[in-house]
Amino acid sequence: MDLGIAGRRAILLASSRGLGRACAESIAREGAHVVLNGRTAADVETAAAEIEAAHGVVTTAVVGDSTTTAVHDALLAACPEPDIVLLNGEGPPPTPFGRIDPDLWHAAIDQQLLGPLTFVQRVLPGMRERRWGRIVAVSSAMVKSPNPLMSLSHGTRLGLAGVLKGLSKEAVAENVTINQLLPERFDTGRQQQMAELVMAVKGITYEEARAEQEASINAGRLGRPEEFGDAFAFLCSAQAGYLSGQSLQLDGGSYEGLF
């Protein structure tokens, strides 16, 4: 299927590794030009070079913390009129609820709520004026079965989801869609880190920790990053113009609810 995004311009926050990198690969394969971002220069520059070589699109590397105004400026200098935006970022560290102090709450709010929303404020007016845009935020399917160690992440991600849902109801009239992707456990470095945390807490082996991750998913396996990237590409497609304000769960069939 031709997704109709060849030549479109995309800014992808936190896209040098993991699920963000998978999203960049999927839309670059469809011919979209991409601005990649991450905090580690070597990762971002390597990803940009590899994607450009593999897919023949224009890639630009912007290094830095995507929640800051300075990096927002750099991203928009590289791509002043993006058609596609991915709101992605590493979550705050798993922390027992009773140990979360006000400083941790404020840091999480800046990282996962205010940072993405201030960037949306800058790109959304232009998309609406040009009458074409796709904004996709990465949230978490696990919010539906909260883990108290993830309270920082769940609280801020739900806040972002609420604001984006409200924006989606107006922007869709100008062919600007705003959706969310809710991944369960995908086989990335993040899940390796989580397995190592479980090893330390439970005193089990890495293999046992990974087996626990897989057993908690109805599909019996971790998701593949390319599966996530291709779902993102479809939400960015011309064919997805009637799909907005939705949260697409990519969870290996694990959610027990009907809606």
Identify the CATH number of the domain in which residue 148 sits. Answer: 3.40.50.720
Residue 64 region, left (φ>0) first, then alpha (ψ -120 to 50), else beta? left
At 63 the pLDDT is 98
The 3-state DSSP class for residue 219 equals coil
Is residue 259 included in any domain, yes or no?
no
111 and 203: one domain? no
Question: Residue 85 CB: number of other CB atoms within 10 A?
Answer: 28
Confidence band for 146, pLDDT divided at 50, 70 and 90: low
Q: Measuring CA to CA, which residue among 234, 227, 225, 235 is closest to residue 177? A: 235
Q: Are residues 52 and 115 in the same domain?
A: yes
Is the pLDDT at 226 greater than 90, yes or no?
yes
Residue 179 sits in which domain range? 9-184+224-250
What was the pLDDT predicted at 51?
98
Could you tell me if residue 257 is inside a domain? Answer: no
If asked whether residues 53 and 118 sit together in one domain, one would say yes
b or e along 210-239 (b: 16 or more beta carbons within 10 Å of the residue's beta carbon)? Answer: beebeeebeeeebbebeebbbbbbebbbee
Q: What is the pLDDT of residue 15?
A: 98
Residues 168 and 124 both lie in one domain: yes
Dump pLDDT digits (tens) for 64-107: 999 999 999 999 999 999 999 999 998 788 888 889 899 999 99
∠ CA(109), CA(115), CA(119), 5° rounding?
A: 150
pLDDT digits 0-9 by tens, 157-188: 889 999 999 999 999 999 999 999 999 889 99
Is the pLDDT confidence value at 153 over 90? no
Taking the C-alpha atoms of residue 219 and residue 215, their distance in angstroms, rounded to an integer, is: 8
Is 135 inside any structural domain? yes
Q: What's the predicted TM-score (pTM) here?
A: 0.93
Is the model's pLDDT at 141 over the cut of 70?
no
The answer to whether position 217 is within a domain reads yes
Q: Edge-to-edge strands of the sheet including 84-87?
A: 59-63, 33-38, 9-12, 84-87, 133-138, 176-183, 247-250
Total number of domains constituting the chain: 2
Q: What integer pLDDT is reported at residue 144 of this predicted model?
A: 57
